[in-house]
Chain A
Amino acid sequence: MQELPLQYRHEAACAKFGEFAGYRMPLYYSKPIEEHHTVRKAVGVFDITHMGQFVAEGELAEAFLQYALPNDVTTMQDGYALYSPLCREDGGVLDDLIIYRHSPRHYRIIVNAGNRERDFQWLEGLAGRFEVGLRDVSSGHCLFAVQGPEAFARLRGELEHSPGDLGYYRFTETRGFGVPLFTARTGYTGEPGCEIAMAREHAEQVWDQLTGSLGITPIGLAARDTLRLEACMALYGHELREEWNPLECGLGWTVKLKGEQDFLGKQALLTVKERGVAYKLVGLEVTGRGIPRGDYPVLDESGAEAGVVTSGAMTPTTGRPLAMARVKAALAALDTRLLVEIRGKQLQARVVSRPFYKNPALRA
């Protein structure tokens, strides 16, 4: 199991650790629910250095990504970030990732830790055809996410280019805390905030100032999961799986057919679009007494198989047992009555709108 470069800092902050994607990760420092509320009400910082970072460079870098990804890379300008699934030829989702355009010849790509090696091999295989060089720069960088309604106010004056001045899904290269920083207005909590990457040798200095003089509370993976669930953001291995296509697991909005241009998985995804999706991702509220969890079966009112819970929890902000579930398209309308099977018992549930939590300031 790998350790984060700042493991010793997390240990000093009394983190409880657990394994995630091959890393020994801080699960929580105080209590998961308290940390969740800290991010919703104030601000917190996550060490997400486990995530993979690649750089793609070459004259045809844009064409390479336009072919590799279902989302439309050509809508980007320099300084834009774009979320996309990474699909196989048959449309199956290999990962979800964010690309950042420095120029049409130079992109940064941030991928999930658990898929980093597979993604790299996959993308490298495609990059060759475009004479694009792909480098895995993960080990040279650290990545922190500062998230919460107070994030921008707390960072104000600390960075040459304030992340609060960036639009949603925009990034900049700037300086702060005496070192060069890559700052993107992205996140995985549903709160305003940014993700900050820096060279590994500067990470301790940045972390210490964020958590020290700026007084930003470190937050673990447990709260990260309940926060992203309330915001209905997908987690690979849960909402997104290799055997599911993005149109049938909640990522239809990221699939652009791009006119005449080809991209990997296009034919398969077109076919799904033409015949209509068989499954949809929905929000579910369990109205009986129980907590829906990933992989619990979802049934229709007659008890017939309807789909599966992808993620669920007693969500701290709402206090309600909520889940995302992938169910048959005919059962996806709001207020549809469904059942969730929890330890052999069938509990009442209904389809509710997503996301479960929305901060209007997120995109403001």
Chain B
Amino acid sequence: MANPTDRKYSNEHEWVKLEGDVAIVGITDYAQEQLTDIVFVELPEVGRQVKAGDSAAVLESVKSVADVYAPCDGEVADVNSSLEDHPEKVNDDAYGAGWIFKLKTSGPDLSALMEADAYQAFVDAEG
């Protein structure tokens, strides 16, 4: 699946999409495919302050446990609570219905993140 160009990507395989002062965060299609069947999602508490690089959510697949890191500083404004009953949405639609949390930010520093094509090259290199 092509990575949408309306967002940026971290080398931990999160995507972040800015809508005004809200950053929507999820994991990439590559990441969900590597994790395989996601069976459990632990979401952050709304109102929690996070710094870029903090573990903000946890995804568990059949075999493994993976952190989802905040790609920028902010306050958790919303979480995708539908994932608690339907964690498989992350597999089915990583870039849409499988979003994980939203951060309220002001002028976030996304300079360390990659554009879609650079991320694809990063994934290809990771093999």
Contact = CB atoms under 8 A, between A and B. Distances in A.
Interface of A: 16, 27-28, 31-33, 222, 225-226, 289-291, 293, 313-314, 316, 321, 343
A357 B60 CA distance: 22
B40 A291 contact: yes
B36 A32 contact: yes
A33 B37 contact: yes
A290 B63 contact: no
A290 B37 CA distance: 16
10 contacts: A16-B36, A28-B36, A32-B36, A32-B61, A290-B40, A291-B39, A293-B65, A314-B39, A316-B62, A343-B42
Contacts of B93: none
Nearest to A221: B63
A314 B84 CA distance: 13
B58 A343 contact: yes
Nearest to A31: B37
Interface of B: 36-37, 39-40, 42, 58, 60-63, 65, 84
B51 to A, nearest CB: 19
A352 to B, nearest CB: 19
Given A293-B65, A313-B62, A31 B36 contact: yes
Given A28-B36, A31-B36, A31-B37, A289 B84 contact: yes
Nearest to B60: A291
A86 B42 CA distance: 40
A219 to B, nearest CB: 13
Given A222-B36, A222-B63, 19 more contacts: A16-B36, A31-B36, A32-B36, A32-B61, A32-B62, A32-B63, A222-B62, A225-B63, A226-B62, A289-B42, A290-B40, A290-B42, A291-B39, A291-B60, A293-B65, A314-B40, A316-B62, A343-B42, A343-B58
Contacts of B60: 291, 314
A42 to B, nearest CB: 19
Contacts of A316: 62
A37 to B, nearest CB: 11
A173 B59 CA distance: 47
Nearest to A18: B63
Report which residue of B36, B40, B65 has the largest number of chain A beta carbons within 10 angstroms of its beta carbon: B36
B62 A33 contact: yes
B72 to A, nearest CB: 23
Contacts of B63: 27, 32, 222, 225
- Interchain residue pairs A-B with the least CB separation, the first 7: A314-B39, A32-B62, A33-B37, A291-B40, A222-B63, A291-B60, A32-B36
Nearest to A316: B62
A293 B63 CA distance: 9
A237 to B, nearest CB: 15
Nearest to B55: A343
A27 B63 CA distance: 10
